[in-house]
Amino acid sequence: MNTETAGALPGLHGVTADMGADKQAFSVPWGKVMMWIFLLSDTFIFTCFLTGYMNVRMSTTEKWPNPSEVFALTVNGHDIPLLLIAIMTMVLITSSGTMAMAVNYGYRRNRAMTTRLMLATAAFGVMFVSMQAFEWTKLILHEGVRPWGNPMGAEQFGASFFMITGFHGLHVSCGVIYLTIVALRVRSGFYDRKGTYETVEVAGLYWHFVDLVWVFIFAFFYLW
């Protein structure tokens, strides 16, 4: 047994070997570890926002506006609750799926498919942000929701909503730019020359995280 095979021990012995040995702790590319640590810090930020939202919603004596009604869309004269949000959720999940496939094709060295799938992912991201822009417009112009008040009830509703979904939308927008840059580099053969497609997987981590955050926002803000 040399030190290299010791680094591949399974289970808790593997943890002590990985953390205690005089070498890099995580046997994955450094870019991936850094992305995970960034995402960990982002988890804390989003949780702070959601916890702040929980706190103001619990402590207000006003009635909290019913998200099911606020975010309803009228189709053929019927109010369908959360329709746009449901579509946005599906779009984001679809983009996560195309991203996972892109990572897979990247490791198979299939440049054309990786590029196509990543650009498709970015396009779904644009679609998501556009629908969010539509939702914000509707809320601000037609429902009169402001960060400091709204006609439906507790005034903290607007502040929480714009803060949380705005920060998430910013993440999606940054992700679209990030994915587009990586996709163009894939197309130009940059990662073939570099000899590794791990950048595609790291970009994928970021994108899946954006989807992950939306799962929590969807549950706590829209459904609760």
Partner 1 sequence: MDQAATAHNVPAGHGSGHAQEHAVGQQHPITIYLWIWALLFVFSSFSYMVDYFQLHGMLRWGLIIFFMLVKAGFIVGIFMHMAWERLALKIAILTPPLALLVLIGLMAIEGDYTFLTRLASFVH
Please, are residues 39 and 208 in contact by the beta-carbon 8 Å criterion?
no
Count Cβ atoms below 10 Å from residue 167 Cβ, excluding itself: 15
Write the CB contacts of 122 (distance below 8 Å, at least 6 apart in sequence): 175, 176, 179, 180, 183
Around 37, how many Cα atoms within 13 Å sit in the side-chain half-sphere? 7
Least separation in angstroms between CB 2 and partner 1 = 8
Least separation in angstroms between CB 18 and partner 1 = 4
Least separation in angstroms between CB 183 and partner 1 = 17
Least separation in angstroms between CB 191 and partner 1 = 9
Please, are residues 224 and 163 in contact by the beta-carbon 8 Å criterion?
no
Count Cβ atoms below 10 Å from residue 69 Cβ, excluding itself: 11
Residue whose CB is less far from partner 1, 115 or 221? 221
Least separation in angstroms between CB 60 and partner 1 = 7
Least separation in angstroms between CB 118 and partner 1 = 15
Please, are residues 51 and 61 in contact by the beta-carbon 8 Å criterion?
no
- Give dist(CA 147, CA 160) in Å, integer: 8
Residue whose CB is less far from partner 1, 66 or 144? 66
Residue whose CB is less far from partner 1, 42 or 143? 42
- Give dist(CA 26, CA 7) in Å, integer: 9
Please, are residues 21 and 3 in contact by the beta-carbon 8 Å criterion?
yes
Query: Which of 98, 110, 120, 118 shows the shortest CA–CA distance to 200?
Result: 118
